[in-house]
Amino acid sequence: MEDMIRIAVDGPSGAGKSTIAKAVAQRLGIDYIDTGAMYRAIGYKMLKKGINVDDLEGIQRLLDTTEIDFSKGDIILDGQVINDLIRTPEISKQASSCSAVGIVREKLVDLQQKMGGAKSVVMDGRDIGTVVFPDAEYKFFITASPEERAKRRYNELIEKGQKVNYDQVLADITDRDHNDSTREITPLRKAEDAIEVDTTNMTIEEVIEYICKEMK
């Protein structure tokens, strides 16, 4: 347990957190936990069940019967791999909305803390260094300009065969930035002791090298 490390990677939507965190975890030989995917999974299930974000009783019943796990790079919701199903603009909006619901955050933060309390992990999200693991051994805040983040997300969705409009992707990212940073419950913010990395003009490999160098 003395050798166990937690690496917190926070930042706004589309900054490349997941890609960076996953690569760093692979390089270090430790597990990667995509907390954003956990909120997307809840949002996806809420949409499927027709549960509104204002229906707290319905959300609680849903949470009581929900299992989320990670295996070999897949996120598994109630036994089903849902990787591509939760990577749509609609689910992004739903994830942002449900992440502002107290009982949802309480449930998922508890799961995240249990995961990071049992083994070394790289965990990315919006409140890892401030709420989930304020005592993490390493903290990084990954960001980029809204335009660059929109371009990356647009290209990602196009490669997956989805029909999207760049201006709409940019508007969605701007809206989510506002929602995430102004919500009452654990808003997006950089931890005071986190290292900020602006990836606007950096390649993925450059960011990975920078983070690994800082950790050394």
2-to-6, 30, 120, 137, 212 alpha-carbon distances in Å: 12, 15, 10, 12, 20
> Annotated binding residue at 203?
no
> Annotated binding residue at 88?
no
> Annotated binding residue at 146?
no
> Annotated binding residue at 14?
yes
> Annotated binding residue at 125?
no
Q: Please, where are the H alpha helices in the chain?
A: 17-28, 35-49, 56-64, 89-98, 102-118, 146-159, 166-182, 204-215
Which 3 state secondary structure label does DSSP give 208?
Answer: helix
Q: Please, where are the H alpha helices in 183-216?
A: 204-215
How far, rounded to the nearest angstrom, does the alpha carbon of residue 187 sit from its chain's CA centroid?
13
- Token pair recorded at residue 166: 């760049």
HSE (side-chain half, CA atoms, 13 Å) at 48: 11
> Annotated binding residue at 13?
yes
> Annotated binding residue at 11?
yes
* Cα–Cα dist 149/92, whole Å: 14
- Residue numbers in the known binding site for ATP are 11-19
- Residue numbers in the known binding site are 11-19
